[in-house]
Amino acid sequence: MPGMDSGREGSTRAAGLASTPNATERLARSGVAGQERANGRRPIWIALAVWGPGLMVMLADTDVGSLATAAQSGARFGYAMVLPLVLLVPVLYLVQEMTVRLGILTGQGHAALIRRYYGRGWAITASLALLASALGALVTEFAGVAGVGQMFGVPRWLSVPVAAAFLVGVASTGSYRRSERIGIAVGLAELVFLPAMVLSHPRLQALLPGLITVPHAAPAFLFLLAANVGAVVMPWMIFYQQGAVIDRGLTRGSMDAERRNTMVGAVLTQLVMIAVVVALAATLGTAHPGSTLRTVGQMAAALTPLLGVTGARVLLGVGVLGAGLVAALVASLAGAWALAEVFGWQHSLNRRPSRDTAPFYVTYTLALAAGALLVLTRTDLISLAVNAEVLNAVLLPVVLGFLLLLERRALPPAYRRRGWRRWATVAVCVLVAAVGVLAMPLSSGLR
């Protein structure tokens, strides 16, 4: 891969090319690799050290919009959304695994590959679709931050700018790995929803029938199903992970570890989603079936009988804040990376803001500022979040179409899916994209 100097960490990532490898990769080539070949296996500390992009993007996948969509699903339809969320685990992995191969084997980001193989016009089109998705996500994330602040008496004019400033600082450290570690640490706060599910004491008598009862004739359920698909496979995730494995400097030797990282993340993010569905189904969905949520405070109120007022607010506040911050970081970086790849700007987090990297960092900061400003005009968080996820689903035909085309054209033949695996991947992507197309006519079902 280009730019693989072992003596420095922060080389330029111009026009989507790979940056300098990290210390793990250098060790793997200078002695540790020999030990690995001799033992026939990779030392576990090396395998764990290359984890990052997959886990980061999956934690971002369970963003505020996803949590709100899951909460709405549990409140309105009980446990009926659990089975679709389980079935979406392999779909999520299938999509994101393609970005791992594309990023590592080509050394170029998603927008850069579209530009290379299909021209600048299509690259701009795909990037605009990404920006629409990313802006919708940013508005949702900052709305979540504002909602958490309001639960504790902090006005949104204070909480939202502080969150935006924090995210600008995280991306400006001059180290992709440092930014990634901060993002993962913040995102892991989402795991608080797992004990919340246990504490909700879901009844097996209701849970088991709910797994096989799908109200497919209800427009509101189909709309929420489309929203959950959009909440699982988001356009900005595809752009982010492909760019992140490059900025991280991962090589072919790291590909299996990154795949495992992505699989673990896919399972984890769906477990969090299921935990929210179950917790709300066992509480609000049981006491008041068909309820419609409007604010983060209403989500907390649903958990109050289990945890008390303070406990519910703290648990929900920690989970939503962690989800919102890591997703805002990933979505805004994905948008900035995409535009930088289209226009040839230097765009590595391994370089601090400077004259050379100014267009990239300005784009990143403006995206955050736009999301922060827009959220100050909206109060209906849940409706906003669900509609943002449906927008993601609607954009999937464009995003997944390019992903499948690049998998066939940009990868070396030995790394392409073949035979039944290829057609199974195509069928899954077409099915997921079709759900997005069906979402718009059903949009009135939630109102």
Report pLDDT digits (tens) over 361-378.
999 999 999 999 888 776
Tell me, yes or no, whether 10 lies in a domain.
no
CB 129 within 8 A of CB 121: no
| pLDDT digits 0-9 by tens, 126-179 | 898 888 889 888 988 998 899 899 899 999 999 999 999 999 999 999 999 999
| pLDDT digits 0-9 by tens, 210-259 | 777 777 667 778 878 877 887 777 889 999 999 999 999 888 988 998 99
* pLDDT over 70 percentage in the chain: 82
Domain count, the chain: 1
| pLDDT digits 0-9 by tens, 263-277 | 999 999 999 999 999
Tell me, yes or no, whether 225 lies in a domain.
yes
Q: How high is the pLDDT of residue 178?
A: 92
Tell me, yes or no, whether 95 lies in a domain.
yes
Tell me, yes or no, whether 341 lies in a domain.
yes
* pLDDT over 90 percentage in the chain: 45
For residue 92, give the CATH number of its domain: 1.20.1740.10
The larger pLDDT score, comparing residue 116 to residue 38, is at 116
Q: How high is the pLDDT of residue 440?
A: 54
Question: What is the domain extent for residue 193?
Answer: 47-446
Q: What is the arithmetic mean of pLDDT over 297-317? A: 86
Asked whether residue 7 carries a pLDDT value surpassing 80, the answer given is: no
Least-confidence region, from 70-74, 78-82, 209-213? 209-213
Mean pLDDT over the full length of the chain:
82
CB 278 within 8 A of CB 79: yes
Q: How high is the pLDDT of residue 300?
A: 85
Q: What is the arithmetic mean of pLDDT over 1-28? A: 38
The larger pLDDT score, comparing residue 435 to residue 328, is at 328
Tell me, yes or no, whether 408 lies in a domain.
yes
For residue 14, what are the β-bridge partners? Answer: 346
